[in-house]
Amino acid sequence: MLAEKTTNPENRCADGTNKQQEFILVQVALRLFHEKRYDKVKFSDIARSAGIPTKEAQVYFADKAEICHQVIDTHLDNQAALFADIDLNSNPRQRLSRFLDNIADDANALVLRGCPLTNLYFDVRGEEEQLVRHATRLMRQRLDWITQQFVLITRVEGTTDFAERLSSAIIGICVLAEVSGNERLIKRQVNQLKSWIRSM
């Protein structure tokens, strides 16, 4: 934590705030929302875990909802980077398989705490409308990318529900794995989904 708090003059913004501390607060919030769930985390918990006094943390974020918007943006950026990396493969079937492999690779973490994106989406559904709409983008971004792959596979647009089926299966697998604590369930279901995609 001490290394994270080191102040670097290059990290100072024009208004005098410290960009590095803002980054640390977002990263800590991201971790705590996943580990403890959004409704169980207080703004003061985030500040304390980041090693920053609560009043100082409020220089960067007024409240937990504001920092959650930044957490959602971080998840969106990370997911976009994952899709960009997968898109380097020209075959849409292989792209979907790689995405599913990524889920299987995270099986242990998914069993322990579930999917951070899906959990956060469900966690904030009772919060203010702006935050709910923002969190919805997490699911929409994934669904849009999966839809694009199926359009390339089938060469038709809007005539199948394949993307919705796969997206629902992914959410269901993550929830069941967390509930059952069964890591093999994820890998088994992922293999079945990959077989289904290959058969197209």
| Average pLDDT of the residues in 46-71 | 97
Mean pLDDT of the chain, nearest integer: 91
pTM comes to: 0.88
pLDDT on residue 159: 76
Q: List the domains of the chain with CATH numbers.
A: 1-62 (1.10.10.60), 75-200 (1.10.357.10)
Residue type, 61: F
CB atoms within 10 A of CB 171: 17
Cβ–Cβ < 8 Å for 98, 197: no
* pLDDT tens figures, 3-32: 233 334 355 554 556 889 999 999 999 999
pLDDT on residue 18: 82
* pLDDT tens figures, 145-199: 999 999 999 998 877 899 999 999 999 999 998 999 999 999 999 999 999 999 9
Evaluated on CA atoms 97, 172, 141, 71, the torsion sign reads negative
Q: Phi and psi dihedrals of 10, rounded to 5?
A: -70, -15
pLDDT on residue 80: 98
